[in-house]
Structure formats: C-alpha cells, structure tokens
C-alpha cells in the first residue's frame, strides 16, 4: 500500500482535527492551501506526514488510505463531475461501481445504477463516487468525494483493495462528517 500512500495528498499533516498549511513567507507568494477541519478515522488509522501530504492516514493492519486534499485558486472552474473524472488519469482502469435500484426491469432482473450521487458537505453540494480501478496494475476500490467552497476545491478519498473496502467505509464517513471549512485559527 506504500505505492498508494505516495500517490495521494499534498501538504504536511493534520494537527488534531485541523489541517494547517505550512508557513510560507510573503515574498514566496500567497499560500494557496486552505486551513480546514476533518473528522478522525479512529485509533486503527495512523497519520502520515511528509512533503506532499495534507490530511492522510494509513490503516495499521489493512492496505487502506484515507486522504483529504484542498487547494484554492489554481483548480479552474470545472463542475464536480469533471473534477471527479479527472482523477482517472492516475489509473489504468476506472469504472464506477453499480448498485441495484430496488426495481426490476421488464425481464425481472434488478435495475442497476452507478454508485455516484450528490450530497451536502459543509453546506455545499458534493459529488460522491465509488470506483473499481487499477493502480500500477493492482486492483483497488475507492470512494471519492469532491466539493467546491469559497474558491477552494476539496477532495476526500478512501482507497483500498476490494476485499477491505466495506470494512472501513464507516471510518471514512467519520472523516467526512467532521469536515469543515473555513476554519478560524
């Protein structure tokens, strides 16, 4: 799972439940990383810190990563579906998972729909998508949430191997439930 950890995030790490961007002097340009709040995934998740990471956790026993990334101003003005679709660039395969609708078609088979829907996070519309993909030849599943607020773009991602996916979706939900922006320091 180290390959997944290396491919996610941007920044320095969280302090408690708040990501605070690293200090950048005025003469180096405006820091375009937002300060935001996240929920914590639980004791089985170890925070990762280092160059390129913001809020990133690795599960202590399963090959799983949760990460939150935010940036302001440099993301363009695409819609949430385009931002989500842009994530596929890192994967050799990318398919949105389908789920039953609870209805049957004319031949008595379950109707299916893509597991992609709009929800509200931090008082903004967010797009949540579940994907089966391949990363460096390894099959993975990920849940990807993207939202825009106050000129900033945020993506919250949970990625793991398919056999572990359902075990940790609740912990990812804790991170999402605790998300807040803006945060006053």
Task: Write down the H helix ranges in the chain.
Answer: 2-7, 80-86, 169-177
The two tokens of residue 86 are 């842009």
Instruction: Give the mean pLDDT of 99-111.
Output: 89
Q: Which residues have a Cβ under 8 Å from the Cβ of 183 and sit 6 or more positions away?
A: 18, 35, 36, 37
Going from N- to C-terminal start, the domains of the chain cover 2-177
Mean pLDDT of the chain: 85
Does the pLDDT of residue 75 top 80, yes or no? no
Instruction: Give the mean pLDDT of 66-80.
Output: 84
Q: Rounded to two decimals, what is the model's pTM?
A: 0.82
DSSP state of 22: P
Predicted local confidence at residue 35, as pLDDT: 86
Does the pLDDT of residue 46 top 60, yes or no? yes
- Please state whether the peptide bond connecting residue 84 to the residue before it is cis, i.e. omega within 30 degrees of 0: no
Does the pLDDT of residue 26 top 60, yes or no? no
The two tokens of residue 70 are 């935010």
Instruction: Give the mean pLDDT of 59-75.
Output: 90
Nearest to 68 by CA among 80, 56, 58: 56
Range with the poorest average pLDDT among 14-28, 122-136, 162-176: 14-28
Annotation: CATH topology of 2-177: Protein Transport Mog1p; Chain A (3.40.1000)
């Amino acid at each position: 799972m180290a390959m997944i950890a290396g491919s996610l995030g941007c920044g320095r790490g969280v302090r408690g439940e708040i990501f605070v961007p690293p200090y950048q002097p005025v003469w180096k340009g405006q820091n375009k990383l937002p300060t935001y709040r996240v929920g914590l995934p639980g004791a089985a998740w170890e925070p990762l810190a280092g160059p390129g990471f913001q809020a990133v956790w690795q599960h202590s026993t399963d090959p799983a990563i949760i990460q939150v990334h935010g940036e302001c101003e440099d993301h363009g003005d695409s819609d949430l579906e385009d931002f989500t679709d842009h994530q596929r660039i890192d994967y050799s395969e990318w398919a949105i998972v389908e789920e039953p609708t609870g209805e049957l078609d004319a031949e008595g088979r379950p109707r299916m729909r893509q597991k992609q829907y709009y929800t509200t996070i931090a008082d903004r519309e967010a797009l949540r998508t579940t994907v089966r993909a391949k990363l460096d030849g390894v099959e993975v599943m990920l849940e990807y949430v993207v939202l825009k607020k106050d000129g900033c773009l945020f993506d919250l991602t949970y990625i793991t191997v398919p056999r572990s996916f359902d075990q940790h979706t609740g912990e990812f939900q804790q991170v999402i439930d605790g998300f807040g922006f803006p945060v006053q320091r």
